[in-house]
Structure 1
Amino acid sequence: MSILGVLVVVFAGMIALIYGTSYLEVSRYYRQATEQYTTVYWEHGLPGDDGNDGNRGTATPDGTNAAQSAPSPSSAPDPSSVPDGGTPPDGSARTVRTFYAAVFDDNGDLIDAAGNANVGVTDDMLSGTGTGIVRSQGLAWSDAVSITGSPRSVAYGVSGQWVYRVSQFDGRTLVVLMDNTIMDESMGTLMRNTLVFGAVAIVLLSGIAIGIARHIVQPLEAAHDEQRRFIADAGHELKTPISAIGANAELLRRDLSSGGASADATNAHARQWLDNITFENQRMAGLVSRLLELDHVESRGADVTSVDFSRLVSGCLLSHEPVAFEHGFMIHDNIASNVVVDGDADRLGDLASILISNAIEHGDATINADDDADPLESMPTVDVRLHVERGRAMLRVSNPGTLTEHEAAHVFDRFYRADPARSSSGTHYGLGLSIARAIVHAYGGTIVCDCRKTSTGADTANDVNTVTFTVTLPLSKHRPSR
């Protein structure tokens, strides 16, 4: 997931947390406020009453009659008169100015109401709304007759613009309504502001994050580009003098060869040095060629066409069989037919050749050697397999040998040689497997190396260590052109 995706997920999580927390807090406030208003009614009557209604058989939550415990009408505070931020009769800091109520008898007739005709909350509206709420909750007016001792809250919820609480006591049903229009609008405003300012913050933070990431990555990209330029420049710079050295050495050899009988021991030594010059020249030329090839694969890639990988691998095996025999190996192959991949035939041929040559050059030909057995049967084998697995072409090249975990992890590094004895001999430059990896990655594949014991029979003492290179490439969607 990208950095921007992570930021979007975090932002969405914060929005959900803020809105959820706010909603729970508002719901808690609604519940406490309606409960408070209900308690005020049972203790003091509805706002605007002269006190007589409150003494009309009204009981307090502790079970005593309001006529006995409630203060006189002149001393009982009117809940509707409590200012914003003031303290209602119970000492809490809840305002009741947006509350309305309707009281019904056990027949469902309205006997008292606290509304506000100036804003359209009339007694008829309260009666209809209260009746609808009680019926929607499946409550019965007559149930209030059996509730004595203390008021009982029987329903709480939201209906349209109202948050309501229904309580019953002593034959009466009280429906308290709280107008939540302003609160809903406030929540909507909160959500819109959070989304707008959050989106702006996401954009700003994304820009800052991208700028910081580019600043951090820029030195790494510069170093990588510099390294690739060095390889290309070094290859091109060395190519010309190497060609000149080769030409001069060949001319000198011809001059010495034309000396006839006068050529003596000095000439023989000169020829020996010239042979060394020619050898080193060829070796340097091979190194430069490998460097240029690696740069070409990594920086420019190759043309992509449908290639019959089976034919390429089989052709490489035919050309490598004599070399393998000279090194004491037999090649065992199992090549599936019609394995077609997308790539460049020359590059994929180089890939197969590099892996097979590496197995022959670095395999241990002394494993399983048996002087008493048939020499051909006792020769170790280089195993090459090509097949289709899980919709991908899979090439495995195995040879007897041993690699440590550290060597297997670095075997694809440039100029890395697991065998130091080969570091300055022949044409081993430590670039072949680097080129193979670059070719595989250029065509969307993978290449791995592992070393494990391979069973040779029931006797585990004869099990041998095997180094295996495994290449996977996407199969082509088209047949190769012939």
Structure 2
Amino acid sequence: MNEQGIRKLRNKFIQSALITLTLVMFLMGTLIYIANLTITRQSIHRILNFIVENDGELEGTKTETVKNPVSSGSSETAQEQGGHSLDSDDYSVVRFLYEIFGTETIEKVRDKYETRYFAVLYDPKGNVTAVKNNLVDSVTQEEAETYGRITLEKERSFGRSGTYYYQVERRDDGSCIVVYLDSTLQVEAMNRLLYSALLLIGFGMILASVFVTVFANRAIRPEVENAELQKRFITNASHELKTPLAVIKANTEMQEILDGESEWTRSTLRQVERLTGLIQNLVMITRAQEQEDREEFADTDVSAVVQETADTFRPVAIQEGKTLTCETPDDLHMEAAASQIRQLTSLLVDNAIKYCDDKGEVKVRVYAVRKGIQLQVSNPYADGKNVDYSRFFERFYREDQSHHADSEKGGYGIGLSIAESLVEQYHGSIQASWKDGVICFTCLLKNKYKKE
């Protein structure tokens, strides 16, 4: 994997880590908020039940007949209050949550300065018999009756209206009571919890992005250094091998001049040519992996470059008994390096001619798409069924696994790898597909420097 591929992998790791962390934090925040909301509503519901059971009154309630739901008490008293007692057996979850979120208790409800509410009582005929609003100065008797009438029209017996929670109790004798409890403090507490959770999640994501980026950079640093050393080794080795190969070639040619050409000298020169080509390809793929210099990119007539390159291979195709056609529109331009477009076309056309079936036709097409320019090179390939084409772009991979030096089709299995490296410089993609006996290589080159 080259340096660019390593950095792409790092970016994907950072994105995956941050997305996962965000989802987990939102899930935890949501669960905490829902737990707080549920317990707060239960607490408010108990307070409303307490007020309803006392006909809208708090004063005069006997302490010994009402127990704190959070404290232990007799089961008989708990049943009288609707079964809201929390004895020692219930402490494991429910009481722990009550202690965390600090919900209201009945002891606080008895304090008229702690509880603000108003109640409207109705007789069996629906007439108002009493309005108890002495603990809410902001609500007049007429407003309380209006609230009560609107609430009776609703189907729900418990709900929320603004910062008030209400409860409707219809009794067996036909009478009814409507209680509105001012829950401003509870609503504000829930909102504060929600906003605090969102702020903490946002702040946590900023910190997490910093730490994940730092750790990711440290994790990939050895891989980046190894990739750089690999490129340096290939470059240095190629230079070191050129001299002995040149000497071997010169000595062999001199031997042919002195003693005449033989089977052994031809074999030696053929292997020298193969090694020279391999070295050139290794240097080429190393350079292709390096990030391009933006100054090399200029407005390029891609149609002309592809057409010109394809024409140079036409005699080669004819010599092998194959035909080559090129379909290019006029004046198809993009910001690119002409040498890279020429090299990419050469690699694909050369590969197509090598593996094209006898008397087959190699087709070259280039056309504009929404994201840039697409280059297609196809040829008949009858043996292409059930082949893993994704491996074609692996370095040194050859479909002919024998790797015989005198293979008819030759090659080193790195041409398509070089093509992939060239395409990646344009943030594009290259794919191989096979259908109805025809193999097709499709390259997408994104015009990344084009101004919209």
TM-score, normalised via structure 1 length: 0.68
For the structure 1 residues 102 and 433, does the alpha-carbon distance in structure 2 shift closer, same or farther, using more than 3 Å as the test?
A: closer
Q: Please say if residues 451 and 468 of structure 1, whose CA atoms lie closer than 8 Å, have aligned partners that are also in contact.
A: yes
For the structure 1 residues 132 and 80, does the alpha-carbon distance in structure 2 shift closer, same or farther, using more than 3 Å as the test?
A: farther
Q: Matches of residues 228-239 of structure 1 in structure 2 within 5 Å?
A: 228-239=231-242
For the structure 1 residues 331 and 47, does the alpha-carbon distance in structure 2 shift closer, same or farther, using more than 3 Å as the test?
A: closer
The CA distance in 1 between the partners of 2:210 and 2:450, in whole Å, is 42
Aligned to 1:53: none
Counterpart AA for 1:443: Y
The CA distance in 2 between the partners of 1:476 and 1:37, in whole Å, is 70
State the identity as a percent: 26
The yes-or-no answer on 1:474 pairing with 2:441 is no
The yes-or-no answer on 1:328 pairing with 2:324 is no
CA RMSD of superposed structures (Å): 4.0
- Which residue of the other structure, out of 323, 326, 337, is the alignment partner of 2:330? 337
**Higher-RCO chain (CA-CA 8 Å, sequence separation at least 6):** 2
What SS does the aligned partner of 1:417 have?
A: coil
Q: Please say if residues 157 and 167 of structure 2, whose CA atoms lie closer than 8 Å, have aligned partners that are also in contact.
A: yes
Q: Which runs of 5+ in 2 are unaligned?
A: 1-14, 72-76, 86-104
For the structure 1 residues 325 and 160, does the alpha-carbon distance in structure 2 shift closer, same or farther, using more than 3 Å as the test?
A: closer
The yes-or-no answer on 1:385 pairing with 2:370 is no
What SS does the aligned partner of 1:164 have?
A: strand
The CA distance in 2 between the partners of 1:472 and 1:353, in whole Å, is 16
Aligned to 2:6: none
What SS does the aligned partner of 1:411 have?
A: helix
Q: Which runs of 5+ in 1 are unaligned?
A: 50-75, 140-151, 258-262, 366-378, 454-464
Q: Matches of residues 63-462 of structure 1 in structure 2 within 5 Å?
A: 77=62, 85=70, 89-90=80-81, 92-93=84-85, 95=106, 96-97=109-110, 98=115, 100-102=117-119, 111=130, 113=132, 115=134, 121=136, 127=141, 130-134=144-148, 136-137=150-151, 156-158=158-160, 161-167=163-169, 174-199=177-202, 201-203=204-206, 205-206=208-209, 209-210=212-213, 213-214=216-217, 217-218=220-221, 220-249=223-252, 252-253=254-255, 257=257, 267-268=259-260, 273-301=264-292, 303-365=296-358, 379-390=359-370, 392-401=372-381, 402-420=383-401, 423-425=404-406, 428-453=411-436
How many Å apart are 1:348 and its aligned residue?
1.0
How many Å apart are 1:475 and its aligned residue?
5.1
Would you say how many aligned residue pairs link Structure 1 and Structure 2? 397
- Tell me the alpha carbon deviations over residues 425-446 of structure 1, each in whole angstroms, 9 at most, x when there is no partner: 3862222222222112212222
The CA distance in 1 between the partners of 2:421 and 2:37, in whole Å, is 57
Aligned to 1:457: none
Q: Highest CA radius of gyration, 1 or 2?
A: 1
For the structure 1 residues 442 and 162, does the alpha-carbon distance in structure 2 shift closer, same or farther, using more than 3 Å as the test?
A: closer
How many Å apart are 1:351 and its aligned residue?
1.4
The CA distance in 1 between the partners of 2:204 and 2:313, in whole Å, is 63
How many Å apart are 1:14 and its aligned residue?
3.1
How many Å apart are 1:324 and its aligned residue?
1.0
Aligned to 1:46: 57
Q: Please say if residues 48 and 166 of structure 2, whose CA atoms lie closer than 8 Å, have aligned partners that are also in contact.
A: yes
How many Å apart are 1:82 and its aligned residue?
5.8
Q: Please say if residues 313 and 352 of structure 1, whose CA atoms lie closer than 8 Å, have aligned partners that are also in contact.
A: yes
Counterpart AA for 2:445: L
